[in-house]
Structure 1
Amino acid sequence: MEFEWYLILALVGTGIAAGFINTTAGGGSMLTIPLLMFIGLPANVANGTNRIAILLQNIIGAGTFRNKQVLDLKTDYRLAVPAILGSLLGALFAVEMDVNLLKKIIAGLMVVLLLVVVLKPDAWVKELAGKVDAKPTVMQYIIFFGIGLYGGFIQMGVGFFLLAGLVLGCGHNLVRANAIKVFIVLIYTIFSLGIFIFHKQVDIVAGLILAAGNMFGAWLGANFTVKGGAKYVRYVLIFAMVIVILNLFGVFVVV
């Protein structure tokens, strides 16, 4: 597939926006997957191709958070383990469901989560003293196994629920939560991208062009998260969640 200069600019520009949104909150794939379909990729190939951008984006994001000493790989990997196991199990039991009903159920859950973000700002901004521990508790392992199960079974909106688990379940503020979320999604994506490549549902060239934007957006997003602090990241999270909820309810359609 040949790419005209304007398509390259569109992919890179959209990738920058998506990388920033994904790193600071979530939902950036609402921008990239429709664009990949618009340039002519089938839906399944667009979904697979997007994983290249997500993978490289999160490598940059995780690396930036680590350099800023926000992400500690020696301890933060522990929450990724139950999430990955849960996602694998969820994928095994995935079944066909009514798409419109599914979107409304997820939107309803996200409305509840949005209310918690809006009405309980301190829980998202402040690190909860005495609650954060380098070694997760059994309950936290269960929470992240459940989030992984959800992600493997349904997938949509899993980034927001990862943030909720890290903030409300573990006591991290949004800066630390975003860093750990980026790392967990990075590990997720290694497995999912491999599956798409195995089934020949990835356009490597389109994915790398998109990834160029996503990587820069992730770098911007990680630096914004660290410098701006949890207070400003919370505003980005609220904005992203509102857009995703409106889309899921069909107020406007971007996917």
Structure 2
Amino acid sequence: MQLWQIPLLFVVGIVAGILNVLAGGGSLLTLPLLIFMGLPSAMANGTNRIAIFCQNLFAIRGFKKRGYFPVDLVLLCTPPALIGSWFGASLAISMDDALFNRVLAGIMLCVLIFTVVDPMKRLRRQDIQFSTLRKIVLAFSFFFVGVYGGFVQAGVGFIIIAVLLAHGMDLVRINAVKVFVIFVYTAVALGVFIYHGEVNYFIGLSLAAGNSIGGALGPKLAITKGHDWIKKVVNLTVLVFALKLLFFT
């Protein structure tokens, strides 16, 4: 690692941290950067988890400080995601990058269509009541969120947004749930990568410094700007990254 790479990691980390809290896709900036710096794909994947872990720690604090933290929903979504992340991270040690890019691009375009059409808009409310069946569906959904997030992380925020939008939640509270779930399952996934020796700590901590600042700024922007503004950020981010994955990789 060269000295000039540290400020580059820091700046990209700030941008990625804000994107990850508001929408997702920050890892689509940081993963290619880590690979460009010479890390193998698996090690870049593992090293990136340090930044994600630190970023969401600060983001959780920001949402809780401002009173936007739906505890019941967090406790429902986190355990299945935690289990899924172990399976996903175990698969991530070897993966086909080209196939991943195409699948991720397809998922992101589906999320874009879903957020634009917003079929649950009329049902959106603050005091959502979850029946037993909806809780079961949500738990299964977050198990697969955990598998995907443990596997590669990049773009998992878009999937969580789509899952919770389908239940009528607003994007401010969705992001509060999202950062906590990702924080917890990232700890498990990071442990798997550390066990296999696929983490560069110095580069990871350099990137984490920037991601943490972005994670601290994200909740303030989310709460002050509100659902409609976040929706625009999500849509633009999804479109840009999906086009990049489809045509420029």
TM-score normalised by length of structure 1: 0.85
2:240 is aligned with 1:252: no
1:45 Cα offset (Å): 1.9
Of 105-114 and 183-192, deviating more is 105-114
Check conservation: 1:20, 1:220, Cα contact below 8 A: yes
Of 175-184 and 148-157, deviating more is 148-157
2:142 to 138, 141, 144: 144
2:174 is aligned with 1:177: yes
How many residue pairs get matched? 248
Check conservation: 1:132, 1:171, Cα contact below 8 A: no
2:241 is aligned with 1:235: no
The letter of the residue matching 2:42 is N
Check conservation: 1:17, 1:214, Cα contact below 8 A: yes
Change (3 A) 1:70 1:134: farther
Change (3 A) 1:23 1:196: same
CA RMSD of aligned residues (A): 2.7
CA distance in 1: counterparts of 2:68 and 2:173, whole angstroms: 6
Q: Secondary structure at the match of 2:38?
A: coil
Q: Secondary structure at the match of 1:172?
A: coil
Check conservation: 1:27, 1:240, Cα contact below 8 A: yes
> Which residue of the partner structure matches residue 114 of structure 1?
112
CA distance in 2: counterparts of 1:146 and 1:112, whole angstroms: 17
> Which residue of the partner structure matches residue 41 of structure 2?
43
The letter of the residue matching 1:57 is Q
Change (3 A) 1:90 1:131: same
> Which residue of the partner structure matches residue 209 of structure 2?
212
Check conservation: 2:73, 2:177, Cα contact below 8 A: no
- Unaligned runs of 5+ residues in structure 1 are none
- Unaligned runs of 5+ residues in structure 2 are none
Check conservation: 2:76, 2:135, Cα contact below 8 A: no
Percent identical across equivalent pairs? Answer: 39
Change (3 A) 1:151 1:72: same
Check conservation: 1:90, 1:153, Cα contact below 8 A: yes
> Which residue of the partner structure matches residue 64 of structure 1?
62
The letter of the residue matching 1:194 is G
1:165 Cα offset (Å): 1.0
The letter of the residue matching 1:192 is A
CA distance in 2: counterparts of 1:147 and 1:240, whole angstroms: 20
